[in-house]
Amino acid sequence: MIYHQGNSRNALVKKKIITLILLFGISIFILIFAPIRNTLTQFVYTVAPSIWNIGDGVLDTLDSLLTNFRSKDALLKENRALLAEMERTQAQILDRNLLSEKVIKLEEALGRVAGDNRVVANVLVGAAHSPYDILVVDAGKKEGVGVGDMVVYAGSGVVGEIVEVSAQSSKLKLYSSSGVEEAVVVGAKRVPAKAVGRGMGNFEAKIPQDSEVFLGDNVVSAKSDLILGTISHIEEKPAEPFRRIFFRSPFNINEMQSVEIIIEERS
């Protein structure tokens, strides 16, 4: 009897292990095999934006109901909105000098001013939702968005690029994601460097020891001439040939409500 019980228990454990291996294998296959993954993603993203919109609507309704009763909370909310607006304005101000330089160069070249094609998109899902440092925005193929398009905030600060596109939404990967490398130029002397993402809007880069770089200098993406961040800390050790600079986005990544996608021309 004991022998039989042991046998059936072993069979159950075996069954559980086989099911586990099968499910794990199928899940991995679905995600690694691109055609299946893309099809399922498109399907999921036909429903997901509506769910997020409903969720946002419910939260907004609850918020407005509660603020009627709690004046302190209303003030806090207003304070948060004003802070976000201030960060946005600061980011815009940072770009003024760069823009004027750009305009002068363009005028010197006597060429016509090249305007880029931008699409404004609302952030459906912020960076806090995903361990991948990915944001979901509500513009997709229908608006002409494609993989590799750059995404900016407040008209000036580049935040990342599009990595996946669905019909009505897209996923953007932040440049500040841990380990992501981006070619940049630092400060007024435009010292070239390679910035490495450190997560949540923070970056690190190494520049030659004798470079004229100061706290508060702008760091600009080499690819787009758009601001990536401002230097917040410089670390130098006399024994090392390099200085390490730490810089961060001039705005809070978590508080972005909308972004602009620069649509690249595709043939």
Contact positions toward another protein, by CB under 8 A? Answer: 16, 19-20, 23-24, 27-28, 30-32, 34, 37, 40-41, 44, 48, 51-52, 55, 125, 128-134, 136, 147, 163-164, 171, 173, 177-179
Q: Which residue has tokens 């330089």?
A: 101
The DSSP bridge pattern shows strands 258-263 and 150-153 to be: antiparallel
Q: Give the Cα separation of 161 and 262 in Å (integer).
A: 9
Q: Give the Cα separation of 140 and 119 in Å (integer).
A: 10
Q: How far is the CB of 22 from another protein (least distance, A)?
A: 10
Q: How far is the CB of 112 from another protein (least distance, A)?
A: 35
Residue 211: which of 233, 193, 196, 225 has the closest Cα?
193
DSSP of 44-64:
HHHHHHHHHHHHHHHHHHHHH
- Give whichever of 27 and 64 is closer to another protein, judged by the CB atom: 27
Q: How far is the CB of 130 from another protein (least distance, A)?
A: 4
Q: How far is the CB of 44 from another protein (least distance, A)?
A: 5
- Give whichever of 12 and 75 is closer to another protein, judged by the CB atom: 12
- Give whichever of 133 and 217 is closer to another protein, judged by the CB atom: 133
Residue 200, class by beta-carbon neighbours within 10 Å (0-12 exposed, 13-18 middle, 19+ buried)? middle
Q: Which residue has tokens 């292990």?
A: 17
- Give whichever of 143 and 164 is closer to another protein, judged by the CB atom: 164
Structure tokens at 200: 């949540």
Q: Report which DSSP code applies to 38.
A: H
Q: How far is the CB of 125 from another protein (least distance, A)?
A: 7
- Give whichever of 94 and 180 is closer to another protein, judged by the CB atom: 180
